[in-house]
Amino acid sequence: METSLAQMDFATARALYEWQVELGADEPVGDLPVDRYEAEAPPPTPRAAPASAVPDASAAPRGADPVAVAAAAAARASTLEELAAIQAAYELCELKKGARNFVFADGNPEARVMIIGEAPGRDEDIEGRPFVGRAGQLLDRMFAAIGLARTAHHRDEALYITNVMPWRPPQNREPEATEIAMMLPFLERHVALANPDLVVLMGNTPCAAALGKRGILRLRGHWAEALGRPALPMTHPAYLLRNPAAKREAWADLLEIKARLKDPT
């Protein structure tokens, strides 16, 4: 009488298994023979979804240019609320898969000054707002020194804050050039809809996006034209936390912003 596997003790079952491996049995075989010559049934033809059911920003055909898809999606936005919804639905940026939250903006969208940072960090990813960690707290103190705040209601005293990247890169690494390129159309539309008097480019990533240049220590303090308006590159507050001696240069940049707001010419 044959002994079933359920009745075998562990040592016997293992010995049988090892004997079969030595004989070359390296894959399981079913109880019934398989006809390898039988033609496989063709896969079912997918039924086309109605056009209204296809999301605009996430239904790009395979191989589509992510930048072209982003540009077409961003162009459809006529308000900041629409832009936020469209950008949040964009599926071609891999950073989205690892982020907790979509981080769009904070502050008063009618502000004369728009700050553009790099990307959310850990605290921003958790809270869903830009510049809320230690660097963000320093940023608030810096601009408060020239009478500007993200909580202010009047546009002359307000700040509007966003980032190039709305999703946190893993381990806070710098965004790659391809990631910046696909977010640039959204940033351009963001600036156009908010329509600030000037923008502040905080760090290398916004300079790369808006100016096509890196080297923030060389660029800072020099006005440029970017995204259709005056732009001042500044060192990121995170850099100032690591290098307190650079706060003197940052203060000079803040005074430049204050003077430019008084005399836009």
Using one digit for the tens of pLDDT, what is the confidence trace for 165-201?
999 999 999 999 999 999 999 999 999 999 999 999 9
Q: Confirm whether 20 is domain-assigned.
A: no
Distance CA 38, CA 115 (A): 65
Is residue 17 domain-resident? no
Question: d(Cα 124, Cα 16) in Å, to the nearest integer?
Answer: 58
Give the structural domain span for 96: 62-262
In a domain, 217, yes or no: yes
**53 is a domain residue:** no
Q: Give every CB contact of residue 1 below 8 A, 6+ residues apart in sequence.
A: none
CB 67 within 8 A of CB 182: yes
pTM, full prediction: 0.77
The answer to whether residue 39 is domain-embedded is: no
Domain count, the chain: 1
Query: Does 140 map to a domain?
Result: yes
User: Rounded to whole angstroms, how far apart are CA atoms 242 and 21?
Assistant: 60
Q: Does a structural domain hold residue 99?
A: yes
Closest CA to 179 of 257, 70, 77: 70
CATH number at residue 90: 3.40.470.10
Exposed e or buried b per residue across 184-222, where buried means at least 16 C-beta atoms within 10 angstroms of its C-beta: bbbbbbbbebbebebbbbbbbbbbbbbbeeeebeebbee
132 inside domain: yes
Nearest alpha carbon to residue 115 among 90, 142, 77? 142
| CA separation, residue 142 to residues 8, 51, 112, 199 (Å) | 75, 49, 17, 16
Average pLDDT, the chain: 86
Contact 220, 233 (CB under 8 A): yes
> Which stretches of the chain score pLDDT less than 70?
1-62
Which of 136, 143, 119, 112 is closest to 208 using CA atoms? 119
What is the three-class DSSP state of 231? strand
**Helix-strand-coil split of the chain, %, nearest 5:** 45, 10, 45
